[in-house]
Structure 1
């Protein structure tokens, strides 16, 4: 089976440090992502993407592969089904480039199986998540929850 990658670039009217902190701050990730990303954020450490609804369900987990605050983060990415019988995991690279007072954010989600449900979820999910993050940082509020039902 062939592997693909998904790339998404956004420009945010916020500093790279503010964007970086929003990727890890549980209060912010709950607002724009509906999840908390838990880890000690050290290379080799486990990370988990946990629903913020109190259920403590892990929708994704993996390892921190690289971290260079506030510019670069690389994670392995495994959905629960991959933990139960599958061994395939994908990889997410997040790069932040300072553009004065603004930031270019680039997400590359790679090693996705061609035509898979994961590829479809990623190609619809990342734009919604990053757009919601951008809106929160630029306006102080998130987008209407209807963006999630559109996916």
Structure 2
């Protein structure tokens, strides 16, 4: 992707947990459902494996593949929306999740980039990621999500 044509969203948060527990939360079907509004990810979690984000009713929300995986430090996904035609038309994006220990917490950086200026997809994820990651942080730190239903 060229920098001039790329559109990006970056979210950084610090979560009081371990890298291993955060990694499990990011990749486990059961854990993901708790903070991602009933949705979950399906993958074999190895380079080249397919990846899907599934709605609670079994429909496919997003698809892609695992580009890079280094548990519990880094996960890179090739990612495309499948249920909104205008977002699907923009093609694949790249989502990078980096986990870095910081004292008794873990710095989680999520970077979502697409080679499409003024991307509607990036506009959509910039509204979704803060809700999802706030729920993840709250769940890991308190045992409860911050937001029960998607706003």
Q: Say what the alpha-carbon RMSD is for the aligned residues.
A: 1.8
1:19-98 to structure 2, matched below 5 A, reads: 19-33=22-36, 34-51=38-55, 53=56, 55-80=57-82, 86=89, 88-98=91-101
What is the count of residue pairs matched by the alignment?
144
Residue segments in structure 1 that go unaligned for 5+ positions in a row: none
Superposition deviation, residue 120 in structure 1: 1.3
Q: 1:87 to 1:125 in 2, by over 3 A?
A: closer
Describe the superposition over 1:96-119 as per-residue Cα deviations: whole angstroms up to 9, x where unpaired.
001132100000001153333212
Runs of 4+ residues over 2 Å off in structure 1: 112-117
Q: 1:125 to 1:43 in 2, by over 3 A?
A: same
Question: Matched residue of 2:147: which SS?
Answer: coil
Moved more, 24-33 or 90-99: 24-33
On the 8 A contact 1:113/1:119 being kept in 2, the answer is no
Q: TM-score, normalised by structure 1?
A: 0.88
Question: Matched residue of 1:113: which SS?
Answer: coil
Q: TM-score, normalised by structure 2?
A: 0.88
